Amino acid sequence: MTEWMQERLHDDYAQALRVDRVLFDSATEHQRLRLFDNARFGRVLTLDDVVQTTEGDNFIYHEMMAHVPILAHGAARRVLIVGGGDGGLAREVLKHPDIVHVTMVEIDAGVVAFSKQYLPNLSAGAFDDPRLELVIADGAAFMAGAGESYDVILIDSTDPIGPGEVLFTDSFYGHARRRLAEGGILVTQNGVPFLQPAELTASMRAFKALFADWTCYLCTVPTYAGGPMALGWGTDGVARATPLAALQARFSAAGLAPDYYTPEVHQAAFALPGYVRRLMP
């Protein structure tokens, strides 16, 4: 009998993926990890039966979260990743030769160990890059503490349920702003606005109070069902106004060959449809 994984993140909407072969099914201290093969998406990682990443479409989310702020900034050297234990975001950040140091703060060591063993294609050697410092700690506590500042901060969190909930609070965003260097950029995972409108509005309300330039930009990830995903954007700089020609020059100099990101897509991602614009406070 064919098994289907049903994701019921929302009360009135679900998606299902066929489970061709279960590769791992266990619980860690914080959450239940499950990995299975799917003919369309390859290996699929779920946490508490919610899709986190797949071999097939992870490049979209990771490229857009990494390359948009780094190329818009133009002089980023130090990056902080909160979450991202699968290593996919670190993989994309470390493709930029000018990045000299990446700190990745992940609450669950089990996610990292699991991903190294079962999803090595996602990190693609990122965990072995000497520029990467892995810190196993609570991201909110790390952000609230004293420490170094960063040119780009990326919040690669789960949805605001359980351990991920604290990463969507006003106080967390305030601490993140304090850890940004001058002209620094904060980018956050803010869900699918069509199905999670309150999540985006709450984050944008906090960003409006904290940053001179605040908005979100969009990308479409098939397994993050329900429409395009929003990535929150906050900065006191002018990076969002970077001309297309400058983005193209930086993109060429970085030697990137992504499958989703282009400088043109970068600019277009900030053009928000009406229903998303109406979610802005």
Stretch among 19-28, 58-67, 239-248 having the lowest mean pLDDT: 19-28
Question: Could you read off the pLDDT of 238-273 as tens digits, one per residue?
Answer: 999 999 999 999 999 999 999 999 999 999 999 999
Say which residues have a Cβ less than 8 Å from residue 131's Cβ, sequence separation at least 6.
94, 99, 100, 101, 102
The average pLDDT across 189-194 equals: 95
Count the neighbouring beta carbons within 10 Å of the beta carbon of residue 208: 13
pLDDT at 168 over 70: no
The average pLDDT across 9-19 equals: 93
pLDDT at 149 over 90: yes
What average pLDDT does the chain have? 93
Where in the chain is CATH 2.30.140.10? 3-54
Question: Could you read off the pLDDT of 83-103 as tens digits, one per residue?
Answer: 999 999 999 999 999 999 999
pLDDT at 226 over 70: yes
Instruction: Give residue 158's pLDDT.
Output: 61
Tokens of 236: 């006191």
**Superfamily for the 58-277 domain:** Vaccinia Virus protein VP39 (3.40.50.150)
Where in the chain is CATH 3.40.50.150? 58-277
Percentage of the chain lying above the pLDDT 70 cut: 94
Closest by CA position to 168, among listed 82, 251, 95: 82
CA 201 vs CA 64, 112, 276: distances in Å? 21, 31, 9
Closest by CA position to 108, among listed 89, 139, 135, 136: 136
The average pLDDT across 44-48 equals: 90
| DSSP code of residue 273 | -
pLDDT at 281 over 70: yes
Q: Please pick, among 86, 108, 156, 159, the residue that the annotation labels catalytic.
A: 156
* Cα torsion 209, 211, 217, 223: sign: negative
213 in active site: no
Q: Does domain 3-54 have CATH number 2.170.150.70?
A: no
Question: What is the distance between the alpha carbons of residues 19 and 17, in angstroms, rounded to a whole number?
Answer: 6
The average pLDDT across 172-187 equals: 95
